[in-house]
Amino acid sequence: MKRLILSLALLCATSSWAAPDWVRGEITKLNAEKAQVTLKHEASMGMDAMTMPYKLKNASLLKGFKPGDRVRFTAKMQGEQMLIDAMEPAQ
Ligand SMILES: [Cu+2]
């Protein structure tokens, strides 16, 4: 499972991620204790639409969100994984 998560993260690590841009998605799972969120994101910046887990820069970014919420977020590579540094409600 860890291997799968890692390869998904690397799949996202295209050069276009160097300049963070807002991506739209929907929360499918969240875990405040682990500062982790699973997002079903749209096709964007060379990535296909997919559902994948992300680490958050700060667990407080999850405040007020629940599964099913539509959000937009920015993320960048931090070591071997994607790290969300901003997330906000979206229509
Ligand atoms: Cu992805």
Structural domains of the chain, with CATH: 2-89 (2.40.50.320)
pTM: 0.76
Nearest CA among 79, 32, 83, 76 for reference residue 53: 83
Count helices and strands (H / E) in the chain: 1, 5
Measured in Å, residue 43 CA sits from the centre of ligand 1 at: 8
> What is residue 44's DSSP assignment?
B
Q: How far is the CA of 79 from the centre of ligand 1 (A)?
A: 16
Complete DSSP assignment for 20-31:
---EEEEEEEEE
The whole-number mean pLDDT for each consecutive block of 10 residues of the chain, a chain of 91 residues, reads 62 55 95 96 85 95 97 90 93 77
Spatial separation of the C-alpha atoms in residues 87 and 91, rounded to whole Å: 13
Q: Where are the beta strands (DSSP E) in the chain?
A: 23-31, 36-41, 50-56, 70-78, 81-89
Q: Compute the distance from residue 21 Cα to the ligand 1 centre, in Å.
A: 13
Query: Ion ligand 1 — residues with CB under 5 Å?
Result: 12, 50, 52
Distance 74 CA to ligand 1 centre (A): 12
pLDDT tens digits, one per residue of 25-44: 999 999 999 999 999 999 98
